[in-house]
Amino acid sequence: MGDQVDGEAATVSEIPHRLTRLQRAMVKTMGNAVSTAALSQVTREVEMSSVIKDRETRSPRPSINTYIMAAVASRLGSHPMLNGRLEGREVMVPDQVNLGIAVSVAEGLVVPIVRGADRLSFTALGEALAVAAGKARDNELTFDDIEGGTFTVSNLGMFGIDGGFAIPPPPQGAILLVGRVRERFVPDDKGEPMLGSLCWFGLTFDHRFIDGSTASALLLDIDAALGDAALLTDNIGSPG
């Protein structure tokens, strides 16, 4: 029995909200992703203490997201399937990393692309990410700014999110979701408690052509890269 008012069944009024152009595009894109891909996920907690220490030594101070993007861009080349897309019976793998960065705007979520992210220095990558995010928030993105991505990173840490299940935007085969950095006591090499800065990384991938071990290997490499932030910032974009 529903609620009643003065002996009569209460009615529920509904107010329609028309989807924006961006939201309509998301309905179509994400619907295609779920209906065609066989999505799976692997997760890992990543120690971020090296990143936090390194950024304290730099002026201007880079964002934690820049370190994460640098780690992804520098390691994807060793895991080409995760940078590829499935076309029929072939996986097309570009010779560079066109890194998508998920940006929250008033109408929803947009993913501008930083092309050739693996070929940029750490400073240049940070600048490119800032330009892309700024254009997204100012509603200045063009078609070329959002097309051609090969891998996407969605960092929800600023919203206090620990983890989740992201869906890669087609035709990309994978997406990395990053949660907030949280301080916790963890055992050191001798089993003694020490304060660590841990962050949840969840890699969603299309299991039709990417297996769990391949996805796990990328997360392991990203963990290693972020574990030595000074080395990461010196080497990204370097030839060879």
Q: What is the mean pLDDT of each run of 10 residues along the chain (240 residues)?
A: 55 78 65 78 96 94 96 97 95 96 86 96 96 93 91 93 92 96 86 90 97 98 97 82
pLDDT of res. 26: 62
User: Residue 22: its pLDDT value, please?
Assistant: 63
Q: What is the pLDDT of residue 138?
A: 92
Is 142 buried (19+), middle (13-18) or exposed (0-12) by CB count in 10 A? exposed
Overall pTM surpassing 0.85 (yes/no): yes
Report the pLDDT value the prediction gives residue 230, as an integer from 0 to 100. 95
Supply the pLDDT for residue 1.
Answer: 45
Task: Name the catalytic one among 79, 138, 162, 207.
Answer: 207
Query: Cα 166 from chain centroid?
Result: 8
Q: Where are the beta strands (DSSP E) in 68-165?
A: 85-87, 90-92, 99-101, 103-105, 108-110, 113-114, 151-155
Of 162, 188, 211, 234, which is the active-site residue?
Answer: 211
Cis peptide before 60 (omega within 30 of 0): yes
SS3 state of residue 102: coil
Structural element, H or E, at residue 134: helix 122-137
Tell me whether residue 3 is one of the annotated catalytic residues. Answer: no
Q: Is the dihedral of CA 162, 77, 88, 148 positive or negative?
A: positive
Q: Distance between CA 154 and CA 179 in Å, rounded?
A: 9
Active site residue 79: no
Positive/negative CA dihedral, 86, 75, 235, 70? positive
Third-level CATH fold of 39-235: Chloramphenicol Acetyltransferase (3.30.559)
Rounded to an integer, what distance in angstroms lies between the CA atom of residue 89 and that of residue 131? Answer: 37
